[in-house]
C-alpha cells in the first residue's frame, strides 16, 4: 500500500537500525535503551517524545517481565501508536459542516508543497463526491495563481482568482460568494507563505480570516498547516510560529517519501498537540493519504 511505499526510506533506516540493535544485545538493559534513544532521535521523533517513549517502554518491559530484546520490538510499535493516539482530538480527516459550506484555510511556508497538497486534497474530496472550489489566495508569489490553476484543471475543480498582487482578502470575498452561489461543499483557500516577512504574513492571514469569519458562520472551519517532512525540526518550529498566529486544526505533512526521518510525525503530534490529518507520499495527484497511526507505525517496521 501507499503508506508502506512512502515510508520506505524511513523504514529502511529506522527498522534497519532497530533490528541491528535487537540482534546485537542479549538482554534489555540501560545501554540498550540508550542506543534505542539515539536511533529514535536520529529519526526525528523529537527529544521530548523520545523521552516519553523510553519511559513508557521501560515500564512496560518491567510490567511484562521482558528480557529478550526481540520482544521489545512489538512493544515499541504499540507505544508509538499509543503516544500518537494519546493526544486529544484525533480526527483523521477534515471536519465537514453538516449543512452548507465548509471553508478550509491552507497555510504554510513557500516550497513546503502547499499548492500540490491543495490539488491532491481537492481530488480526494471530489472522489468522495464533494463539490469543491479553490481560492487563489497566494497573490504574492510569482506563478502561484497559475500553478493552482494547473492543479484545478488536472483534478477538474474551478479556481477563483484575481490578478497577481491583488488583495488576498478580496480574493477570499469573491471565492466565498462564488462558493455560496454555486452551493459547493468545500472551499479550499490557498494563502501566501513568505515567512521572511513574518509580521506582514500573519497580518495578511488575520485579514483573510476576518473576511471568511464574516461571510460564513464558523469559518474557517479548518486551518490546515502544510509542513515539509524533509525539513525535520524546522517543520516543528514552523508549526510553533503558525499556531501562535492562527488556530491550526490539522497538519498536512508532505514529502514523507523523501525523508528517512519520518519520525517527525510523532514529534509534531506529541509536542504540538495538533493532529496530522494528511501525509504527502509523492508528487502525483493520488500521492496523498489520510493519516492513520497504526498504518504509519506498521509502515515503519513491516
Ligand atoms: P508551495 O510553494 O508550498 O505551494 O509548494 P509546491 O506545491 O509548489 O511544491 C514544491 C515542490 O514539492 C514541488 O516540486 C512538488 O512536486 C513537491 N512536492 C509536494 N508534495 C510532495 C510530496 O508529498 N512528495 C514529494 N516527493 N514531493 C512533493
pLDDT per residue over 111-159, tens digit each?
999 999 999 999 999 999 999 999 999 999 989 999 999 999 999 999 9
Between 133 and 10, the higher pLDDT residue: 133
Task: Verify whether ligand 1 is closer than 6 Å to residue 110 (CB atom).
Answer: yes
Q: What is the pLDDT of residue 89?
A: 61
Q: Which residues contact 38 (CB under 8 A, 6 or more apart)?
A: none
Give the max Cα distance, the chain: 68
Distance linking the first and last C-alpha atoms of the chain: 12
pTM above 0.90, yes or no: yes
Task: Verify whether ligand 1 is closer than 6 Å to residue 111 (CB atom).
Answer: yes
Substitution candidate for ligand 1 out of 113, 120, 190 with most atoms within 8 A of CB: 113
Q: What is the pLDDT of residue 87?
A: 64
Q: What residues does 279 pair with on adjacent strands?
A: 253, 289
Instruction: Out of 88-92, 135-139, 190-194, pick the least confident.
Output: 88-92
230 is in an annotated binding site: no
For residue 173, give the H/E element and its range: helix 168-181
180 is in an annotated binding site: no
Sign of the Cα pseudo-torsion (155, 158, 162, 168, in order): negative
Q: What is the pLDDT of residue 20?
A: 93
Whole-angstrom Cα Rg for the chain: 21
Q: What is the pLDDT of residue 226?
A: 97
Q: Taking each helix axis from N to C terminus, what angle separates 30-42 and 8-24, rounded to the nearest 10 degrees? A: 170
What number does the ligand 1 atom closest to the CA of 116 have?
Answer: 7
Say if the ipTM goes beyond 0.85: yes
Q: Please state, rounded to an integer, the average pLDDT across all residues of the chain.
A: 92
Q: What is the pLDDT of residue 155?
A: 97
Mean pLDDT of 221-231: 95
Residue 274's alpha-carbon distances to 46, 140, 209, in angstroms, are 15, 28, 19
Amino acid at each position: 500500500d501507499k503508506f508502506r511505499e512512502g515510508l520506505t526510506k524511513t523504514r529502511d533506516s529506522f527498522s534497519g537500525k532497530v533490528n541491528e540493535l535487537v540482534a546485537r544485545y542479549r538482554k534489555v538493559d540501560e545501554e540498550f535503551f540508550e542506543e534505542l534513544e539515539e536511533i529514535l532521535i536520529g529519526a526525528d521523533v523529537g527529544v521530548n517524545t523520545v523521552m516519553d517513549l523510553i519511559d513508557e517502554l521501560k515500564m512496560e518491559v518491567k510490567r511484562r517481565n521482558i528480557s529478550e530484546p526481540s520482544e521489545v520490538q512489538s512493544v515499541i510499535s504499540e507505544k508509538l501508536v499509543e503516544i500518537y493516539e494519546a493526544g486529544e482530538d484525533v480526527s483523521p480527516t477534515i471536519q465537514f459542516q453538516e449543512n452548507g459550506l465548509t471553508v478550509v484555510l491552507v497555510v504554510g511556508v513557500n516550497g513546503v508543497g502547499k499548492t500540490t497538497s491543495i490539488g491532491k486534497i481537492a481530488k480526494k474530496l471530489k472522489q468522495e463526491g464533494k463539490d469543491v472550489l479553490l481560492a487563489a489566495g497566494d497573490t504574492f508569489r510569482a506563478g502561484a495563481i497559475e500553478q493552482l490553476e494547473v492543479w484545478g484543471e488536472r483534478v477538474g475543480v474551478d479556481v477563483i482568482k484575481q490578478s497577481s498582487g491583488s488583495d488576498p482578502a478580496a480574493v477570499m470575498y469573491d471565492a466565498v460568494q462564488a462558493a455560496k452561489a454555486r452551493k459547493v461543499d468545500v472551499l479550499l483557500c490557498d494563502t501566501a507563505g513568505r515567512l521572511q516577512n513574518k509580521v506582514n504574513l500573519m497580518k495578511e492571514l488575520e485579514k483573510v480570516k476576518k473576511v471568511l469569519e464574516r461571510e460564513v458562520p464558523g469559518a474557517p472551519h479548518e486551518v490546515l498547516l502544510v509542513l515539509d517532512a524533509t525539513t525535520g525540526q524546522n517543520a516543528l518550529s514552523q508549526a510553533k510560529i503558525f499556531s501562535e498566529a492562527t488556530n491550526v486544526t490539522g497538519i498536512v505533512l508532505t514529502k514523507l517519501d523523501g525523508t528517512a526521518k519520518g519520525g517527525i510525525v510523532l514529534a509534531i503530534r506529541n509536542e504540538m498537540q495538533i493532529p496530522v490529518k494528511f501525509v504527502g507520499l509523492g508528487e502525483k495527484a493520488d500521492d496523498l493519504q489520510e493519516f492513520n497511526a497504526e498504518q504509519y507505525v506498521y509502515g515503519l517496521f513491516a
